[in-house]
Amino acid sequence: MIKATNIVWHDAAVTATERQEKLGNKPCVLWYTGLSGSGKSTIANAVDRMLHDRGYSTYLLDGDNVRHGLNKDLGFTDVDRIENIRRIAEVSRLFNDAGLIVSTAFISPFTTDRDSARGLVGADFIEIFIDTPLAECEKRDPKGMYKKARAGEIANFTGIDSPYEAPKAPEVHVKTAGKAIEEVANKVVEYLLDNGYIK
């Protein structure tokens, strides 16, 4: 890959602080992580709807949707997964600079990749572990992916033949068993309220 050279950073005329003041919320990245079928996208969408209905400026980056465009050149090898997460972290940082509350719903199975994303985003990176047991995810299997992975039709599938490294100290840890979507979403919104991201 040829890397760009002779480039210079240009400061914007409108600062991030000015955007934040206009929008009325403190920007952050809500980084949802968990196994396929754990409920990441469903919960991220529920939180996004709650925040939007309260008048906040938000945007949701969903794993599958991003792979239809920005990351359609990437597969699921470890190297491609690392690049997938790096690109999402960079895009999230740009949305934050615009003053938005960004939600990302990606498996992001490796601790080092999530730590790298945190390093790129900075202090307003909020890791949300959607903790759903593998057996429950397989039982749900909304896309039929676990069945294909078990049959050997999909390689490098997280939880089957590729590891998932659970977060050790996420800002929000949600065990979904027996909980309604609204209950889980409210826990995320409460964190944002308690920590001054929204009023």
Considering 38, 57, 108, 162, which one is annotated as catalytic? 108
Q: Reply yes or no on whether the pLDDT at 195 is more than 80.
A: yes
The answer to whether the CB of 92 falls within 8 A of the CB of 61 is: yes
pLDDT, tens digit (0-9, with 9 covering 90-100), for 56-69: 999 998 766 777 77
CATH fold of 22-194 = Rossmann fold (3.40.50)
Residue, of 183 and 151, whose pLDDT is higher: 183
pLDDT, tens digit (0-9, with 9 covering 90-100), for 68-115: 777 788 877 778 888 888 889 999 999 998 899 999 998 889 999 999
Kind and range of the H or E element at 28? strand 28-33
Q: Reply yes or no on whether the pLDDT at 177 is more than 90.
A: no
Active-site residue, 103 included: no
pLDDT, tens digit (0-9, with 9 covering 90-100), for 16-45: 777 777 777 789 999 999 999 999 999 999
- Spell out the domain ranges in the chain: 22-194
Residues 6+ apart with CB under 8 A from 191: 126, 171, 172
Give the residue among 63, 161, 172, 158 at the shortest CA–CA distance from 128.
Answer: 172
Residue, of 68 and 123, whose pLDDT is higher: 123
Paired with 29 in beta bridges are 102, 125
Paired with 158 in beta bridges are 162
Strand, helix or coil for residue 65:
helix
